[in-house]
Structure 1
Amino acid sequence: MLKVLAITILGSLPLLPVAAVAQMVPSTCHAVAEAVPSATFVSMAKPTRLAQVGEDVTITYVAHATYRIESPGGVVAATDFAGMGGSPTPDIVTMNKAHSSHNTPFPDPAIAHVLRGWNPEGGPARHALTVDDMYVRNVPTDIRSYDGMEPDGNSIFIFEVAGLCIGHLGHLHHRLTDSDFAQIGRLDIVMVPVDGGLTMSQEGIGEITERLRSSIVLPMHRFSGPIERFLAKLPDFAVDMRDEPGFTVSVRTLPRTPTVIVLRGV
């Protein structure tokens, strides 16, 4: 039986300081920084309250911007869910509203937790959900619209499981501020859009990826452009091209050198 703790605050509340957020939610992924504003976030895995560090997490590429994340306890989350989340049905899905390929107005009723990265009533969406050994939170970001930039129109989602901090940048449209980086914290694994047009430029995504310095970078949202164009923006990162759509990883098996893993289908 799944144990669930959910906190969802929707409204026009201001962004809380990191210290305040840390008191509200069980995050173990907030940043260790050399200095601010030129913060470098260091991957230093800490035990979560919910899962044993060292247990394997399974990550599988589904399509477009959708990855499946499966915890050691069997909790399944699907990112930027537009109706395709793989089998079995995910327990948790996250969505972004940029395009219909990142959300669905009619999610399967069997999905227990649907987390939208925007607040239909206005203001930022706020999520803090714990399901057994997985904790999911969000960091609101802005989105391009016909009238310019819409504040808090989308979210970066962060999944904390088995000591790992896994971030999905979603349909990101702008460079991140120091406050954004502080709220995100460290990311051992980061999923980044690499289309270079509908989201951010590849230079911009490359800069964000360099600053996060995650152990594993997972490209997504590629369309038809050659993946080498994105890889060229990260000359100091190793590259691991895989013939499989998924892999397992734990705190102990994270690569020592920051590595871009390109899964089959990306």
Structure 2
Amino acid sequence: MTRRAPRAVGSTRPAPPTNGVNDVTPAILASVRAASCIILGPRRRNVELTWYGMSCFRMVERGLATVVTDPFDSSVGLPAPKLKADIVTVSHDAPGHNNLAAVKGERRVIQGPGEYEIGGVFVTGIAMNAPAKGNGARPNTLYVFDFDGLTVVHLGDLAFVPSQPQIEDLGTVDVALVPVGGGSALNPAQAAEVISLIEPKLVVPMHYKSGKETLKLGPASRFLSEMGINSLEPIDVLKVTKGALSEETQVVLLERAES
């Protein structure tokens, strides 16, 4: 099967080859677009996503619980965030993902698989552990958030390409928060393959080198190149409504925020 390389919207240069993604990758990669705008629709309420570095996001929809994912501490080389939330999710127990002290308020902490409904937000934790190495598999929990019908999946520190049955457990995904910088999680080629399996409407890269991180992470540019995107300007906040989502997968790059 011959696979066309995806291109970035507005780019006049040919897209680079997408080396590293095998030929059985579904054709969704051929329709990936770069999104450089805020995606709003006619629906008055929208989910706002802000990225603080590593795998830490704050997600807000008016009238629903506020969510913070994977708060980190300063040992990763970035200033620890200072946030408030109703829900905090932790994908696995490591300093780059489990700094609960960074989040104030009467928050509910979710640290593993299960189904939860808190403040109008439905959260499903799905165990997806890395293949066994040494004495056992490294635990990792993926989280699917349902904000009034708009679904966001946070892949945590996913480090391998899941099987098709594992992908189906996620259901329909509108927004995928995907590690792309390698290290302990997906590298750019693996991230591209996972995206092709999930088929989300929007992809937001995370867990890559954006500053002085001490972890051995690659920059977002390597992932963008893997996806055939020449360049992409980051935005401060992603505001998205379900009715405005494109049928084609778009990539949105977020600027790292200071809390």
TM-score (norm 2): 0.70
How far is 1:149 from its partner? Answer: 4.2
Is it true that 1:196 corresponds to 2:186 in the alignment? no
CA distance in structure 1 between the partners assigned to 2:244 and 2:230 by the alignment:
15
**Secondary structure at the counterpart of residue 204 of structure 1:** helix
Structure 2 unmatched ranges of 5 or more: 1-25, 29-42, 74-79, 210-216
How far is 1:69 from its partner? Answer: 0.8
1:113 alignment partner in structure 2: 108
Q: How does 1:10-89 map to 2 (within 5 A)?
A: 55-82=45-72, 86-87=82-83, 89=84
Match of 2:244 among 241, 253, 265: 253
Bigger RCO of structures 1 and 2 (CA < 8 A, at least 6 apart): 2
2:200 alignment partner in structure 1: 214
* Number of equivalences: 206
Identify if the C-alpha distance between structure 1 residues 239 and 127 changes in structure 2 by more than 3 Å, giving closer, same or farther: farther
Q: Which amino acid aligns with 1:69?
A: M
Structure 1 unmatched ranges of 5 or more: 1-37, 41-52, 118-125
1:143 alignment partner in structure 2: 130
Match of 2:226 among 233, 255, 262: 233
CA distance in structure 1 between the partners assigned to 2:93 and 2:251 by the alignment:
25
CA distance in structure 1 between the partners assigned to 2:198 and 2:136 by the alignment:
24
Q: How does 1:125-164 map to 2 (within 5 A)?
A: 126-143=113-130, 147=134, 149-150=136-137, 153-164=139-150
Identify if the C-alpha distance between structure 1 residues 109 and 265 changes in structure 2 by more than 3 Å, giving closer, same or farther: closer
How far is 1:257 from its partner? Answer: 2.8
**Secondary structure at the counterpart of residue 52 of structure 2:** strand
1:35 alignment partner in structure 2: none
Whether the 8 Å CA contact 1:128–1:137 is kept in 2: the answer is: yes
How far is 1:72 from its partner? Answer: 2.7
Identify if the C-alpha distance between structure 1 residues 185 and 74 changes in structure 2 by more than 3 Å, giving closer, same or farther: closer
Whether the 8 Å CA contact 2:87–2:109 is kept in 1: the answer is: yes
Identify if the C-alpha distance between structure 1 residues 258 and 252 changes in structure 2 by more than 3 Å, giving closer, same or farther: same
**Secondary structure at the counterpart of residue 101 of structure 1:** coil
Q: Which amino acid aligns with 1:234?
A: M
Whether the 8 Å CA contact 2:181–2:220 is kept in 1: the answer is: no
2:18 alignment partner in structure 1: none
Is it true that 1:263 corresponds to 2:254 in the alignment? yes
Identify if the C-alpha distance between structure 1 residues 148 and 208 changes in structure 2 by more than 3 Å, giving closer, same or farther: farther
Identity of aligned residues (%): 22
Identify if the C-alpha distance between structure 1 residues 207 and 85 changes in structure 2 by more than 3 Å, giving closer, same or farther: same
CA distance in structure 2 between the partners assigned to 1:175 and 1:264 by the alignment:
26
Structure 1 residue runs of 4 or more that deviate by more than 6 Å after TM superposition:
none
**Secondary structure at the counterpart of residue 169 of structure 2:** helix
2:4 alignment partner in structure 1: none
2:31 alignment partner in structure 1: none
